[in-house]
Amino acid sequence: MMRSLFSGVSGLKTHQTRMDVIGNNIANVNTTAYKSSSMTFSALMSQTTKRASGPNALTGVAGTNARQIGLGVKAGAINTNITGQGSSQSTGNPFDIMITGEAFFVVNNGVSNYFTRDGSFYVDGAGNLAMTSTGYNVMGWQVDPDDPGSIKQDTVTALRIMNQANMTYPPEATSEAIIAGVIDSNDKNVTSPSGKSINLGFYDALGYYYTAKLVMKQSDNPHQFSLELDRILDSTGKEIRDLEGNTLDVKSLVKLSETDRSQAKKTTIGMDTTAYQWAVEGGNVLLKDTDGKTLANLTSMFNNGSFVAMDTENVPAVPADPTAGTDEIPAITVAEALDNIAKAYGYEGSTDEFLKLAKIDEAASTAGGTDVYRSMETLLYNMGTNMLAAAGTAPTEPALKIPSADDSSDVLDGRLFDGILVDYNPDTGVFNGLNGAGPTNATFTLNLSALGGNFSNITVDMSTSSNYDKKGTSTINATSGDLEGVGAGRRLGEMIGLTIQDNGMIYATYDSGMTKLLGQIATAMFANASGLEKSGDNLYSATLNSGEFDGIGVDITSDGGYMTTGQLEMSNVDLSSEFTEMITTQRGFQANSRIITVSDTLLEELTNLKR
């Protein structure tokens, strides 16, 4: 038989194999991250009929080449263009990831690791990041337990990014705050008795939101102000109480010593003697209206010189006619009695402000060398004592002046501040310290931990506030957190999204404004990526010629690669090249078929010789 016949057969088979490769490339033209293959031919073998001989220097005969007859063709190699980058396809799905570079994703079927460029992922029912097509888990590195903000690159494990621990971000109590902006000495709100309101929102350790209502009031020095805590409200606007259910003494929540108190300008007050009068009846000092109704009883309102509990109904019934002993007046509380006294002196609805008025105790001031102020509480107590004193007894001073028909006014020396003394430089307007301690003392503490429960103390920094003319408008305000936002506190955060960075790090975002590192997608790189073995489903397996996977992997950015979310890598098949290859393959197949046809004709001529 003719050797050319078998050469033609090998050519047909080899070109058919090449057509199989081309057909597979074209079939996968839209397969995600498919890598095209190409085939090279090599000679099958040759039959040597005469070996080569060398030249003979003695005879001068030249050498001759070997005589070899080729016996056909075979597939030399089928190469995969595995490093050829496919074009990108935008999907808008945040879990679709495209690799730019030579790295591979690492996925696992529960037994073995595989490698793929197909980044079409999703989150399964268990919260694991997995391949959409096979369900294999995407492998990566976990967060370092000793440093939650970094990744521990160790043996790759499944990335469970949607577990219960990651669905929420824990709340945190506010620990830092800033009061900043301009306080204008000409602001009517600042100079008014109620002062300039400043709201500070904060969280407790359980994430409940509260508002500390602060007020800033001007003293007799236009560059000194009292910052006071008025009350604390919960998120519904209800004033919170202490653990026993009593109204909070908010003054105790601000660190303050009596010597730190500052005084406002002198104030003249007076009682409306046409509608009210003080009287002593039956050993009691009473405030009465013109109808003879008792509105307050100073004698029963004090216990050792101090007001008794404000919500106690301890004002005893007083006979309307002491001599008759009939028609008792219903008892009223101390708080109600104080409201009546404040109203009589023109402070209706402003009882707290009335009680903060003060007078200098001249005798004590002389003895101590500094001004000593007596509060309205002391002034009322001493006035009652003086009214009950027997004739000729020295009055207790200082005391609130007893109004008479010809003189109902009394000059008080100021108003006791219940908060922090804030001082500004009169020449530059910059912050000058708290409580007279100089610029280095720029913070004070809201002692909220005294409330018990889940409250924490808040350190408030006022160093960035200033005292300038702003056309009567103050912009001073309070914000939680320091200058970098640290210590602002937060409520419980619910996960609202996931983001994957170009290095594969996965972050969760929460509606509380926080982010949390959940893990990092690991990648694998091989010394000879073309040596990987296809395992179907867009997967590859490591071989001896590709190099082994060390079980840890590499950060994709280590060689300049990166990941892009919302995009997939398309097939790198070039249809124009494939069609060209198809044409040459077809012609090669046709030519080889002609070899067989011609060889058959020659054999036919040989068989016809016997005729």
> pLDDT tier at 312 (50, 70, 90 boundaries)?
low
User: pLDDT per residue over 181-232, tens digit each?
Assistant: 999 999 998 888 778 999 999 999 999 999 999 988 887 788 888 888 888 8
The pLDDT, as a whole number, for residue 462 is 92
Query: What mean pLDDT do residues 475-481 have?
Result: 95
Q: Whole-angstrom Cα distance, residue 515 to residue 513?
A: 7
The pLDDT, as a whole number, for residue 299 is 84
Neighbours of 540 (CB within 10 A): 23
CB-CB contact of 450 with 457 (8 Å): no
The pLDDT, as a whole number, for residue 241 is 64
Query: What mean pLDDT do residues 438-461 have?
Result: 84
User: pLDDT per residue over 38-66, tens digit each?
Assistant: 998 888 877 777 888 888 888 888 988 88
The pLDDT, as a whole number, for residue 313 is 53
User: pLDDT per residue over 376-435, tens digit each?
Assistant: 888 888 888 888 875 556 667 788 888 877 788 888 877 776 678 888 999 999 999 887
User: pLDDT per residue over 542-594, tens digit each?
Assistant: 999 999 999 999 999 998 999 999 999 999 999 999 999 999 999 999 998 88
**Cβ density class 115-139: b for 16+ within 10 Å, e for less:** bbbbbbbebeeebbbbbbebebbbb
CB-CB contact of 99 with 106 (8 Å): no
The pLDDT, as a whole number, for residue 256 is 39
Q: Whole-angstrom Cα distance, residue 195 to residue 190?
A: 5
The pLDDT, as a whole number, for residue 477 is 95
* pLDDT higher than threshold 60 for residue 335: yes
Beta bridge partners of 567: 90
Can you say how many angstroms the Cα of residue 106 is from the centroid of all Cα atoms in its chain? Answer: 31
DSSP 207-273: --EEEEEEEEEE-SSTTEEEEEEEEEEETTSPBPB-TTSPBP-GGGGB---GGG--B---EEEE--T
User: pLDDT per residue over 275-306, tens digit each?
Assistant: 899 888 888 888 988 888 888 888 888 877 77
> pLDDT tier at 324 (50, 70, 90 boundaries)?
very low
In total, the chain counts a number of residues equal to 611
* pLDDT higher than threshold 90 for residue 359: no
Q: Whole-angstrom Cα distance, residue 448 to residue 398?
A: 35
Mean pLDDT of the chain: 85
Query: What mean pLDDT do residues 103-123 have?
Result: 95
Two structure tokens written together for 370: 């500094």
Q: Whole-angstrom Cα distance, residue 381 to residue 93?
A: 76
* pLDDT higher than threshold 50 for residue 515: yes
CA atoms within 13 A on the CB side of 189: 14
The pLDDT, as a whole number, for residue 252 is 53
The pLDDT, as a whole number, for residue 435 is 78
The pLDDT, as a whole number, for residue 509 is 95
Query: What mean pLDDT do residues 149-171 have?
Result: 92
The pLDDT, as a whole number, for residue 143 is 94
This prediction has a pTM of 0.67
The pLDDT, as a whole number, for residue 34 is 94
* pLDDT higher than threshold 50 for residue 317: no
The pLDDT, as a whole number, for residue 367 is 57
Residue boundaries of the structural domains of the chain: 3-50+65-83+573-610, 88-170+493-569, 176-261+438-480, 267-415
**Cβ density class 358-388: b for 16+ within 10 Å, e for less:** bbbbeeeeeeeeeebbbbbbbbbbbbbbbbe
**Strand 37-43 versus strand 46-50 pairing type:** unpaired
The pLDDT, as a whole number, for residue 112 is 94
The pLDDT, as a whole number, for residue 264 is 55
Beta bridge partners of 472: none
Can you say how many angstroms the Cα of residue 539 is from the centroid of all Cα atoms in its chain? Answer: 38
User: pLDDT per residue over 243-274, tens digit each?
Assistant: 444 444 445 555 433 444 445 567 788 888 88
* Phi then psi dihedrals of residue 413, to 5 deg: -90, 0
Nearest to 263 by CA among 120, 115, 370: 370
What sign does the CA torsion over 319, 320, 324, 330 have?
Answer: negative
**Strand 567-569 versus strand 88-90 pairing type:** antiparallel
Query: What mean pLDDT do residues 498-505 have?
Result: 94
**Strand 523-524 versus strand 319-321 pairing type:** unpaired
